[in-house]
Structure 1
Amino acid sequence: MHPNQEEPPAHGPAERDLTRLLTGLRPHLDPHRYVYATVTGGIPPGLDPVVTVREDEGRTLVVRQEEADRAGLPYAYVAGWITLRVHSALDAVGLTAAVAGLLADAGLSCNVVAGFHHDHLFVPYERAEEAVDLLGRLAADAGA
């Protein structure tokens, strides 16, 4: 193993095959509302972002809506957080396109964040359950 290569996770290697990725989606909807906010400087006290992105204009935070409200932080885009529980490889090809395309065809915006083990989707909160249903059908169709 190369010195900079990490050990594979205990639950097995990451998946690269698109058909297996799609059949194994197992989407999970977190019950909370999440919002996108931006700050300059550090993360304000009391916030525990699930995503941070550093940009020239400031730091984008994805946080639970109630945390943003408590901190008096203005925000946009109230989202539902869906985790695709398949262990996707970071270099897998086609999963993001398949998922985003499906949701786009249904008129759903989708902001995708790749974690080391899973992909995470932020979709309009009021349509998050619909998105989970669509993803479940995608997984079933891929296995047919």
Structure 2
Amino acid sequence: MTPETDLPTLLATMDPQVRPGRFVFATVKGAMPDAEVLASVVEDEGLSVVVAQDDADRLGLDYDFVGAWITLRVYSSLESVGLTAAVSATLADIGISCNVIAGFHHDHLLVPADRLDEALSALHVLVSA
């Protein structure tokens, strides 16, 4: 399958799907405790990780954002232009923060867990536009 680069096609076929659970960002210094790390990035301050909230609570990791995970199921090219901007702008217009993680095949959004339904509704409107 070839990754998509055409913005109108990306928007029309992005197919937002919810990953079950609640997720948090945390910073780990040193070795990662026993948890499934769903995403990570090395920063000067330590290893930033995205883990399930239950794992973070069990391990005593500090966090201040609890998110719901939305995957845009369209196979977007890493060279495509505008998908992240369009999605972010749509959510920003209704006051929803959006933390984007780019994967090789798909883009992933972490939005405030308590605003998941609003975020999905807005994304479905964007798909229909």
TM-score by length of 1: 0.88
| Pair 1:96 & 2:81 matched | no
Q: CA deviation at 1:17?
A: 0.1
> What's the counterpart of residue 2 of structure 2?
13
Q: Which runs of 4+ in 1 moved over 2 A?
A: none
Residue aligning to 2:106 = 118
TM norm structure 2: 0.97
For 1:36, the equivalent position in structure 2 comes to 25
In 1, the alpha carbon distance for the partners of 2:16 and 2:123 equals 7
Does 2:127 align with 1:139? yes
Kindly name which structure, 1 or 2, has the bigger radius of gyration based on alpha carbons: 1
Q: Does 1:105 align with 2:98?
A: no
Equivalent pairs: percent with the same residue? 52
Structure 1 unpaired stretches of 5+: 1-11
SS in 2 for 1:32: strand
Q: CA deviation at 1:119?
A: 0.2
1:43 partner letter: M
**Cα distance in structure 1, aligned partners of 2:31 and 2:7:** 38
Q: Deviations over 1:33-64 (max 9, x none)?
A: 0011111112112x111110100001111100
Q: 1:94 & 1:25 partners in 2: Cα distance?
A: 13
- Alpha-carbon distance, 1:31 to partner: 2.1
Distance (Å, rounded) in 2 between the aligned partners of 1:66 and 1:93: 35
Shift of 1:81: 0.3
Where structure 2 has 5 or more consecutive residues not aligned to the other structure, the ranges are: none
The number of aligned residues is: 129
| CA deviation vs aligned residue, 1:67-97 (integer Å, no higher than 9, x gap) | 1111111112000000000000001000000
CA distance in 2, matches of 1:42, 1:18: 40
